[in-house]
Amino acid sequence: MTAAVLAGVFFAATGGPPPAAGAADARGALSSKARAAFDILVKAGRFESSHVNEGGELSRYARAVRTLIREREAPAAFQALYDNGTPVAALYALAAFWYLRPDEFPSLLRRVRERYGARTIETQSGCIGVKQKVDELLESRERNAVRLPPGSGRTALFCATTKLKSFNEDFVGGGTPIDILEEGPAPIPNCAHPPPLPDYLKPRR
């Protein structure tokens, strides 16, 4: 199937504007389950925390990110979301890049801030839905905001915050990507000897 035909299929599936051929190619390389996850993310209109609503069920967007990152072709798929999806899709791709491209994460975040930082989007954290500027999601100005190096996982977050009464999460410090990508609460870890991340959360291109 040609890239042009794939682009038409992608357009029909997402209901959005036709993407670059590279985005259609990235989608076409995925398994059927991952393609469904991709289609959910590419047109996402609300940024949600990992668990939402009164029952605390897993957000469909977080589920889609967790499904997609397990694919061999995940890096290309997330790049397509970052380049061609909605502003919210770019945020979910950025969450994945915290793990997949930690060395480039600051520059990837800077590009999202330049493109979308001033935009207001719908968000939901748990039961609370509000409208926020993208820049507020990217970087908290609160004094108790968590600050971890890109690529850190849930164990590092636990060890950095275990003695704090409260803390704020954002993209800059990793709290938001960790929330989206990793399930919790994890067993109490040994902070001196943290377990390795699973292979699908390790850097790859």
Q: List, for residues 127-155, the tens digit of each pLDDT value.
A: 899 999 999 999 999 989 999 999 999 99
Q: What is the pLDDT of residues 95-114, one digit of tens each?
A: 999 999 999 999 999 999 99
The answer to whether residues 123 and 47 touch, using CB atoms and an 8 Å cutoff, is: yes
Size of the chain in residues: 205
Quick one: pLDDT at residue 54?
85
Q: Which residue has the higher pLDDT, 189 or 5?
A: 189
Whole-angstrom Cα distance, residue 120 to residue 106?
Answer: 22
pLDDT tens for 27-38 read: 999 999 999 999
pLDDT, one tens digit per residue, over 37-76 is: 999 999 999 999 999 998 889 999 999 999 999 999 999 9
Which residues, in sequence order, are CB contacts of 94 under 8 Å at separation 6+?
82, 105, 108, 109, 112, 171, 177
- Whole-number average pLDDT of the chain: 89
Residue 90 φ/ψ, nearest 5 degrees: -65, -35
Q: pLDDT value at position 10?
A: 46
What is d(CA 139, CA 168) in angstroms, rounded to the nearest whole number? 10
Which one-letter DSSP state was computed for residue 108? H
Per-residue pLDDT at 72: 96
- Which pTM was predicted? 0.88
- In this predicted structure, what is the pLDDT of residue 18? 52
